[in-house]
Structure 1
Amino acid sequence: MVDGELTRREQLVAAAFGLVAEVGLEGLRLRRVAAEVGIDQSTIHYHVATKAELVEAVAQHAAAMLATTAPPPHLPPREALAAHLDALADLVATRPELFTVTAELDLRARRDPSVRAVLDRQEAGWREVLVGLFTALEPDGPAAARAELVIAAVKGVRLVPDLAPVVLAQLVAPTEETERAGGGRR
């Protein structure tokens, strides 16, 4: 592989990701994925054994894209949270297809344990980071509940992406009030 070139499997995952964004998981067909990449359908199984494996790979691809919004570790907690939420709002605006795909995956995960496992791993890491930030901001506060609120808000704004910046900014506001009152650490 030459630097910058995708492997055939990566091409298939990217094509499947695009198709899920366009037609949903129910409309995802291996024949169409193969055609998008320019290979014969009979050879797709050399790269992904099953459609379920391809869906899992799409879930991992989406999780990797979301991981790019991780808060910078060198920032104080409130600024790290604000940076993370700003990055998510930017991602909602610039990559709306990502949030279409994650909505599809969330629905599929309700009845597909392998997709649920991928999403659970991604959300567990995200939840841990958020709980750490909220705990640093307010040691005796409801860190786990606030983390769940962030996750729920992000999942909600993917349905109305234009509201993402306003909604996600509101999740930082309570931490600013706590800091002004002297309840949080910096």
Structure 2
Amino acid sequence: MVGGETEGRRAQLVAAAFRRVAESGFEGLRLRQVAEDVGIDHSTLHHHFSTKQSLVEAVAAYTTRQFWGASPPAPDRSSALRGHLRVLQQMMVERPDLFAVTVELDLRARRDPAVAAAMAQHESGWRAALVEILTDLVPDPAMSAELVIAVVKGVRLLPDVAGPVLDLLAEQLIGDRRG
């Protein structure tokens, strides 16, 4: 296979594995099913991913990339926080599969150092972006960033209440300072 074809096939395999994890969790992830989903033989999958672990790590990277650049530009920090939370809430509605996989990844990270490292890297970037947004808005931007992360991780399990909860979170953090 030519390099581009190999990368294209890898991307198809990662997307298929992502869908399987969203539907059945990591416990239901079967390499044979992923290969079938893409229309290749199980043994061919191993030319792209030598182990199930390497495919899981690729799913973690693919999943976290879905959040890059998701927040719109904003004229001020209050608007940036509200916009960020609004985008996450919208993604919860439009992409429930994405949040199902993030739950699976967070659970797996507790017992899988490679997934833990991928998630920690994603979360450190998210944390830094939140601290930047929250600077000059709240007395303790670092702790407030932790609060935002914890609340988002909680409401992804209850997407029907995500909008009101995230609106309340923004209100609690920044009050009436609307941008």
| Residue 146 of structure 1: aligned partner | 144
| Residue 20 of structure 2: aligned partner | 19
- 2:137/2:174 contact within 8 Å kept: no
* Counterparts of 1:137 and 1:76, CA distance in 2: 10
| Residue 31 of structure 2: aligned partner | 30
After TM superposition, the structure 1 = structure 2 runs for residues 1-186 of structure 1, keeping only pairs within 5 Å, are 7-72=8-73, 74-138=74-138, 141-177=139-175, 179=177
- 1:59/1:119 contact within 8 Å kept: yes
- Tell me the CA shift for residue 156 of structure 1: 0.6
* Counterparts of 1:107 and 1:174, CA distance in 2: 29
1:167 is paired with a residue whose SS is helix
Q: How much identity, in percent, do the aligned residues show?
A: 52
- Tell me the CA shift for residue 48 of structure 1: 1.3
Q: What TM-score, normalized to structure 1?
A: 0.88
Letter aligned with residue 80 of structure 2: A
* Counterparts of 2:8 and 2:19, CA distance in 1: 17
2:66 is paired with a residue whose SS is helix
Q: Give the root-mean-square deviation of aligned CA atoms.
A: 2.0
* Counterparts of 2:176 and 2:129, CA distance in 1: 19
* Counterparts of 1:62 and 1:167, CA distance in 2: 24
Residue ranges of structure 1 left out of the alignment (5+ in a row)? 181-185
* Counterparts of 1:11 and 1:107, CA distance in 2: 24
Residue ranges of structure 2 left out of the alignment (5+ in a row)? none
- Tell me the CA shift for residue 142 of structure 1: 1.4
* Counterparts of 1:85 and 1:132, CA distance in 2: 15
- 1:34/1:41 contact within 8 Å kept: yes
